[in-house]
Structure 1
């Protein structure tokens, strides 16, 4: 259980699993988090914005605020799920061409814990640029749940995860990757 009032930003990218991000929201709220959804512009087509706004009680954000809009609360932690190949690589390179990437670019420098749950296919996950990006992010303290025994292409395609993590996480298969990200965040 987290301290009451702690704010978790969930950054959602345009991958098939984005449609189920409400499961992560529910699990995080059960642990006491206040959840702010930030969607990449492309992810807006993958999520049910009105449902997520009702679930969180907060607007889904996908762009920088205008000067007359209220400032959102600062994140105490960030989970990027599902994280795409594009977002992982841009995050590692410090590219800030979207609001979501701007938040991610600052997070390590501000000491905000970040957990990244990639959902990429095998062809992209084995590419050198992706592997370098994962290594680079890990070197900065970002926790990237990629590699043997983690979620990724097999979960994205609907096939069995490589290591049966759903059973190991003590929940349903549908909640397993989301629970894994929260568990990693709680490790401090």
Structure 2
């Protein structure tokens, strides 16, 4: 068996989705990734499931959304990730991830990705009042120390409708492209 990647195989992107008002627009990232020749699988936090159209995502990706641990002996539901995009990433997920909590499938995947060396990009989505909490900046610093690629987006004003029109889904791919080798 060769350690060389199969040049005809598309790279696989895990898209980790958190519970935020714009999560329903995740199709924008899925489409952009597929246009750049990625295969995509979606992993959602349990709370994010209520924000997503599972049927549409399954149709687009060919995989069901995953949000819970598999049982021992069950097959792995997704191929191994070549890269991970966390979008939208909430205050809660960012802080728990940086602190090493793995109490959901999504967080477990993110915590393990560091040890596996999987390139990971995060697109935070939170308001400026939440971002002012000292734990948030400390968490971003910790994630940077872990080589996580962090979006340049700024938090939106509280009660402003969330700044969905300024959220750049494609930035996840822009961050990951230099970090991932292989065909695009």
**Is residue 42 of structure 1 aligned with residue 47 of structure 2?**
yes
Q: TM-score, normalised by structure 1?
A: 0.84
Corresponding residue for residue 183 of structure 1: 174
Gap runs ≥5 in structure 1? 162-172
Say yes or no: does 1:89 pair with 2:95. yes
TM-score by length of 2: 0.86
Q: Out of 34, 45, 49, which is 1:29 matched to?
A: 34
Report the CA distance between 1:145 and its aligned residue.
Answer: 1.4
Runs of 5+ in structure 2 lacking a partner? Answer: 1-6, 180-184
Determine if the alignment matches structure 1 residue 55 to structure 2 residue 66: no
- List 4+ stretches of structure 1 deviating above 4 A: 156-161
The RMSD of aligned alpha carbons is 2.2
Aligned to 2:25: 20
> In 1, are the aligned partners of 2:85 and 2:172 still within 8 Å (CA)?
yes
User: How far apart are 1:16 and its partner, in Å?
Assistant: 0.7
Distance 1:160 1:93, change over 3 A: closer
Q: Residue 91 of structure 1 aligns to a residue in which SS?
A: helix
1:136 CA displacement: 0.5
Q: Which has the higher helix share?
A: 1
Q: Secondary structure at 1:38's aligned position in 2? A: strand
Matched length: 172
